[in-house]
Amino acid sequence: MWKTGITELLKIEYPIIVGTMMHLSQAPFVAAVSDAGALGILASANYQDRESFRQAIRDIRNQTTKPFAVNLNMFPARKRLDNNVYIDVILDEGVKIVETSGHKAPEEYVDRLKKADVTLIHKCVGVRYAKKAESLGVDAVTVVGYENGGATGRLDITTLCLVPRVVDNIKIPVIAGGGVADGRGVTALLALGAEGVIMGTRFLVADECPLHPNIKARLLTASELDTTLVLRSVGNTHRVWKNKASAVTAEMEARGAGLEELFTIVSGDQTKKMYFGGDADSGLLACGQAIGLVSECKPAREILLEISREARAARERLTALESTAGPKNH
């Protein structure tokens, strides 16, 4: 039985949050993750009108009674509903956990969400930003190191350095991630002071994840060397899987292409073609260095059970090392 500040705050079985994945974090996947005992997060930006968003929330509720969250995305986008519209639906439907993520603190949304007794988690990239979020009254922060898949920010701080720095500088619970795909990594982050762990890359190949089987098969052969950074030139650095689209993006950035030109490669239409059509080179796929630790597709519930067994083995190993490290006679 896991018991941390995050399991207590969110009322979940495992101290594990499955990171929001654009296009993929739809209702059935989110419900499966939450029902298995972790926290699934619905990507609000997947929905372009309030009624389809409302229906997604109801679909989750029809599939599980366990807690789930909704993500409010504050990254730049060409077309998206105002986040206040999403909040209207969130409050109407009684959603109790919200994650915010983006280039700024969620200052404009905090009062409205907290007045409705919503638990608010803010995802950020460093100590200064975590302290700002804490000062606004959020209930927990998520920080991810440079190894992370998806948005990495510009600080380029590894998980091992970032997590204890944040833990030492704020009083609210810290959810940590970046380079974690198994129970050993979960144990390490909890040892660094985190109260929960966010994982995305491991769950790309969960059976319930709607990513095309062709892409899942390719990911299972990938190593920690098969990711790269793109979009730094336009201030939106992301770590993605190495494929033709990522190589073309890098070439375009090297010659100074602007956002409009880059959008021909990184648009949602190209991403969907890859995710759901199975064309492995047509778009960008957010993917962390931990992909090298992933070798098998499984249901979300089995992934979590495996992580729990691995974490237990890691703790037992440390206990055994401690028991053999007694004082020596000289």
Mean pLDDT across 227-242: 93
Same domain, 190 and 241: no
Residue 10 lies in a domain: yes
Domain count, the chain: 2
The pLDDT tens digits for 61-120 are: 999 999 999 999 987 665 667 899 999 999 999 999 999 998 788 999 999 999 999 999
Residue 202 lies in a domain: yes
In angstroms, how far is CA 302 from the centroid of its own chain? 19
Same domain, 257 and 179: no
Q: What is the pLDDT of residue 232?
A: 92
Give the residues across from 140 on adjacent strands. 121
Mean pLDDT across 126-140: 96
Q: Which residues contact 100 (CB under 8 A, 6 or more apart)?
A: 71, 72, 74, 106, 109, 120, 121, 122, 123, 138
Same domain, 134 and 249: no
pTM: 0.94
Residue 319 lies in a domain: no
Same domain, 220 and 166: no
The pLDDT tens digits for 150-199 are: 988 888 999 999 999 999 999 999 999 999 999 999 999 999 999 999 99
- The neighbour count for residue 175, using CB atoms within 10 Å, is 29
Same domain, 10 and 79: yes
152: alpha, beta or left? (left if phi > 0; alpha if psi -120 to 50): alpha
Owning domain of residue 302: 5-209+295-308
Residue 288 lies in a domain: no
Q: What is the pLDDT of residue 77?
A: 63
Q: What is the pLDDT of residue 1?
A: 61
Report the range of poorest mean pLDDT among 122-136, 154-168, 257-271: 257-271
Residue 99 lies in a domain: yes
Same domain, 167 and 128: yes
The pLDDT tens digits for 27-72 are: 999 999 999 999 999 999 999 999 999 999 999 999 999 999 999 9
330 has pLDDT over 60:
no
Same domain, 109 and 231: no
Same domain, 138 and 230: no
Residue 119 lies in a domain: yes
Looking at mean pLDDT, say which of 170-179, 228-237, 249-258 comes out highest. Answer: 170-179
Tell me, what CATH number does 60's domain have? Answer: 3.20.20.70
Same domain, 145 and 95: yes
Q: What is the pLDDT of residue 128?
A: 94
Residue 49 lies in a domain: yes
Residue 231 lies in a domain: yes
Q: What is the pLDDT of residue 103?
A: 78
Q: What is the pLDDT of residue 192?
A: 98
Same domain, 144 and 228: no
